[in-house]
Amino acid sequence: MREEQFKSSSGEEAGVSMADILVLPDELQTIITCLMRGGEAGLPEVAAFIEQDEATTSTLLADLIARGFVQEVPAEGKGQPRYRTRLVSKRTRKLSFEL
């Protein structure tokens, strides 16, 4: 996925909130938990964390990437890519100065 797809209409970086994660199936929530704990992880680490084979884990990660929950980070050199969550920080409200 291209980075432009994750921009909001105001040009700010978009992502997902913790509330969005709560509606995911348990197996996908577990992957998000893994990535949140470590910051980012490779396929073998995620597969070990969720106790699945790498093929199944790759499919689940692809689903999370398609939904916008996870971002694939290219590896330096010829290593395997790493993955991280696309969580947004707490949104602040813009108040009018005319209160």
What DSSP assignment string belongs to 31-51? HHHHHHHHSSEEHHHHHHHHT
Q: Tokens 């992880």 appear where?
A: 41
At 91 the pLDDT is 55
At 96 the pLDDT is 64
**pLDDT tens digits for the chain (99 residues)?**
334 334 444 444 456 777 788 888 899 999 998 998 888 899 999 999 999 999 999 999 999 999 889 999 887 777 788 999 987 665 555 666 665
At 93 the pLDDT is 59
At 65 the pLDDT is 92
At 10 the pLDDT is 41
* Radius of gyration from C-alpha coordinates of the chain: 16
Q: Is 51 buried (19+), middle (13-18) or exposed (0-12) by CB count in 10 A? A: exposed
Query: Which distant-in-sequence residues (6+ apart) come within 8 Å of 21 by Cβ?
Result: 29, 32, 69
